[in-house]
Structure 1
């Protein structure tokens, strides 16, 4: 039986299959929970509530397992390291060089 990659771990980047996204499932490499906002295709650090899905309930800790009904695994991980204001400022500075 071949397992196809559904996404990647938000912490270490290990490829994960669809069966590795259970509520209490952790990444076998780093031990972090896999069904978390940071692993979801709707996660967007630049949005209010850091989620593109407007009907999703607010989740305080984006790195803890949750029961969100809108969860969909993703391989395109958002780092969330920069702030939206900082990104806008850098873009404006690039324009006026």
Structure 2
């Protein structure tokens, strides 16, 4: 039986299957919660409340497990450094 990779852990990058995103499920490698904002496709530090889903409830700690109805696992978790400042620096570097 093969398990399809649904995403990666936001902390350590371990591949996770669709069954690894339960409310109280932890990453087997680093022990961090897998159903957390940092593992969601809507997470974006550059947006209000750090979420691109406008109807989602505000979650203060993006690294803790939560009950968000809009959670969708992502294969490319964003780091805290993935913000607008990085994009601005890249754009400025183009014009030097």
Give TM-score scaled by structure 2 length: 0.90
- Size of the alignment, in residue pairs? 96
Gapped regions of structure 2 (runs ≥ 5): none
Are 1:67 and 2:67 matched, yes or no?
A: yes
Q: Larger deviation: 34-43 or 75-84?
A: 75-84
Are 1:93 and 2:92 matched, yes or no?
A: yes
Gapped regions of structure 1 (runs ≥ 5): none
RMSD: 1.5
Structure 1 consecutive aligned stretches of length 4 or more whose deviation exceeds 3 Å: none
Give TM-score scaled by structure 1 length: 0.89
Q: Larger deviation: 42-51 or 87-96?
A: 87-96
Q: Secondary structure at the match of 2:16?
A: strand
